[in-house]
Structure 1
Amino acid sequence: MSYALSTPEKVALYMRLVFIAPWQILFSVIRVLVITQIRRIPASLFLVSAILKIVLGTLSPRQIQYLSSSTRETYKLWIQKKKAAETDLGTTNVLSYDIEFLESDATLLWVGSRHVAKKIVLFFHGGGYVAPLLPGHLEWCWRTYVAAGRETDIEVAVAILEYQLCPKAKYPDQLRQAVTALSHTLSRNIHPRNVIIGGDSAGGNLAAQVLCHLVEPHPSVPELIISEPLGGAFLVSPWLSQSTKDPSFLKNSSIDMLSAKTVDKSTKELLPDGHGSLSKLAFPLDRDRVWLKRLGLVLSHMYVTVGSHEVFLDQVEVFVDEVRRVECMPSLRYDLQIKQAHDFILLEGQRNEDGECIQSMRVWMKDWLMKKI
């Protein structure tokens, strides 16, 4: 649910949107146009990224949530629009407003039919743990998972976790909800090998947290023991460390939608006061990396993708190198998108297009469905 702002807060927000934000956006757009020209990369999605940079960097979580539709409202409207636009009866039959309420205040929003699906994707959306789901997340899920399944004659359904946002929720609340969602999914007589988990940015962080928890349970989150490794996991531009000192932050913060300031702000919102040593458990690269040696015991396949022009590039490459070095490792496909920045698969979804990121993810998904990996 969106936050209600007081009258003074509304006035302050109005003043910022009218008198400050336009100039910030103009400067950001001009800067991106110059840099993309220098780097010889297409400017289109970077311009969208430039606008999002100002939103994420200057507005508070309460302001962002006030201006946004809630995750559930976005889901409902997307389902309605998608059904209205489709003419194929088989497609409309798997487009229904389907919500499951779980324990720990977790909620699953289904894309595709969970009643006939043979494979399940448990999806965690990004947004720094402060922004709700966007229509682009839903379009991405539809195009890469449900559609890929239909192309291979295998029914796939996506369970999107509606987790609680900061500042109302703090770590490890989101992890507790994600584990509840995975436990519920597996309780439906779905074998772990037929389940994929994943997400983008903060959602990628949450997926990695779940994998950590399966290997080394968090002390304040119920343990979940699985009978066999999960079928797969995908991490899109994942947020894997608190550190904002990597060279890629310095190199790419002027063109990416994220910056050190934005990431530090999200970290502060996520971690509770007095969090102490437990804060390291929220970030897979900040904790003891011994857990990676047992990753293959809980996971069969992994897909990791990052843009070469984003601030998270260095930490993602460190993570990929760490996974590749362990003996008991899952099958890993690493996709470095050389013309993209942070979370461009989401921006492609926002534009309802099959861009390079969506196409690459769909190839991995189809290979997994057809057991080519």
Structure 2
Amino acid sequence: MQRLLESYRAILSPYSSRLWLGNRHKAKKVVLFLHGGGYISPILPGHLEWCWQAYIAAGMETNVEVAVAVLQYTLCPEARYPVQLRQAVDGISHLLASGFHPEDIVVGGDSAGGNLTAQLLCHLAQPHPVVRKVELSQPLAGSFLVSPWLSRLTGHASYSENGWIEMLSGPIMDRCAEALLGSEEAQQSYADLAFPFDTKSSRLSGLNNVVSQLYVTAGDQEVFRDQIIAFVHRVRKLNPTLKVQFDFQQKCAHDFILYEGQDERSGECMEAMKLWMTDLLATSKQH
């Protein structure tokens, strides 16, 4: 953790803050990282360890300077949807205004951060009616969704099969959704846009215009398993030219890469993420 603490710098804005890992002034590629925690928990040390081992280390091995901008969005109940989406839009807009081109930006996150990433991608493709539009001159370099929370529905078989195995369950996710959406009126108005798998299928079309490749993970022992599998199928069907890599991780529960980060070890999930990033960087160097 000491090397992480020595390598970040906080940049405050009126809306959110960003922690920087790596040298943002020399970086050729940048990762906008959106942490998980059900929109109610802050970033953990394991998230920072993950960012270092999977992204900055991948840059070192490919001789590409990589920096990570960790967005610290406002948690619930202080702010509710779509405030976090607006802050993610501010985050990517800041990177673009700082001189990074879309093809030099990777965006992603885990769990609720995966939800926010999917929201952001949908917004870039088809703007949310009450969130500022962002124009991209080219698609983003890539995006990753780790154990993303994509649906409010808790009736999938994976909930009953895995709810007793891991830390998440239907009642827990119901409370997180209520915290995110707030009033019943807001839940009725925004629920379909807040959860990308629950929205109209057509809203997932056009992702190939805003991102060049997508990396999605799911553990076979997590409650989100079925919604993630169905989401990947839908995205592939609606975006046949989009490069989608789905990593179905055996004997893994929810967000297992975070546990590896908490343990400060490079396990199978960490290595898989690093390999994806290494391939992305190597491909970008060829163009």
Task: Please state which band the TM-score falls in when normalised by the shorter chain.
Answer: over 0.9
Task: Verify: 1:174 aligned to 2:58, yes or no.
Answer: no
- Confirm or deny: 8 A CA contact 1:144 1:361 kept in the other structure: yes
Question: What TM-score results when the alignment is normalised by the length of structure 2?
Answer: 0.96
Corresponding residue of 1:187: 97
The 5 Å alignment of 1:279-294 reads 279-294=191-206
Q: Which residue of 2 aligns with 1:92?
A: none
**Is contact 1:152-1:366 (8 Å) kept?**
yes
- Partner AA of 2:192 in structure 1: K
1:214 aligns with 2:124: yes
Q: Which has the higher helix share?
A: 1
User: Which digits, 9 at most, give the CA deviation of each residue in 1:141-184, with x for residues without a partner?
Assistant: 00000011001110100000010000111000100000000011
Partner residue in 2 for 1:99: 10
Distance verdict in 2 for CA 1:342–1:83, change over 3 Å:
closer
Determine the structure 2 residue equivalent to 1:82: 3
Give the Å deviation of 1:96: 3.1
For 2:153, the equivalent position in structure 1 comes to 243
Helix, strand or coil for the counterpart of 1:244?
A: coil
User: Of 139, 148, 153, which aligns to 2:49?
Assistant: 139
Aligned length: 283
**1:156 and 2:66 equivalent?**
yes
Deviations 1:222-272 (A, max 9, x none): 111111111100000000000000000000000011100110110010002
Query: CA offset at residue 334 of structure 1?
Result: 0.5
Counting only pairs closer than 5 Å after superposition, residues 28-67 of structure 1 correspond to structure 2 as none
- 1:234 alignment partner, SS class: strand
Take 1:356 and 1:129, find their aligned partners in 2: how far apart are those partners? 26
Measure, in 2, the Cα distance between the counterparts of 1:83 and 1:208: 27
CA distance in 1, matches of 2:72, 2:239: 35
Q: Is the 2:38–2:112 contact (alpha carbons within 8 Å) kept by the matching residues of 1?
A: yes
Percent identity over the alignment?
Answer: 50
TM-score (structure 1 length as normaliser): 0.74
Runs (4+) of structure 1 exceeding 3 A deviation are none
Aligned counterpart for 1:277 among listed residues 162, 169, 189: 189
- Across the aligned residues of Structure 1 and Structure 2, the Cα RMSD in angstroms comes to 1.4
Distance in 2 between the 1:337 and 1:83 partners?
A: 27
The equivalent residue for 1:203 is 113
Structure 2 residue aligned with 1:225: 135
Code of the residue aligned with 1:141 in structure 2: it is C
Equivalent AA in structure 2 for residue 277 of structure 1: S
| Cα distance change on mapping 1:285 and 1:83 into 2, 3 Å | closer
Give the deviation of 1:339 after TM superposition. 1.5
Matched residue, 1:330: 242
**Alignment partners' CA distance in 2, 1:256 and 1:327:** 32
**Which amino acid counterpart does residue 271 of structure 1 have in structure 2?**
L
Which of the two has higher C-alpha Rg? Answer: 1
Task: Give the AA of the match of 1:193.
Answer: E
Q: Deviations over 1:4-25 (max 9, x none)?
A: xxxxxxxxxxxxxxxxxxxxxx
For structure 1, list consecutive stretches of 5 or more residues without a partner in the other structure: 1-77, 85-94
CA contact (8 A) 1:295 1:328 kept: no
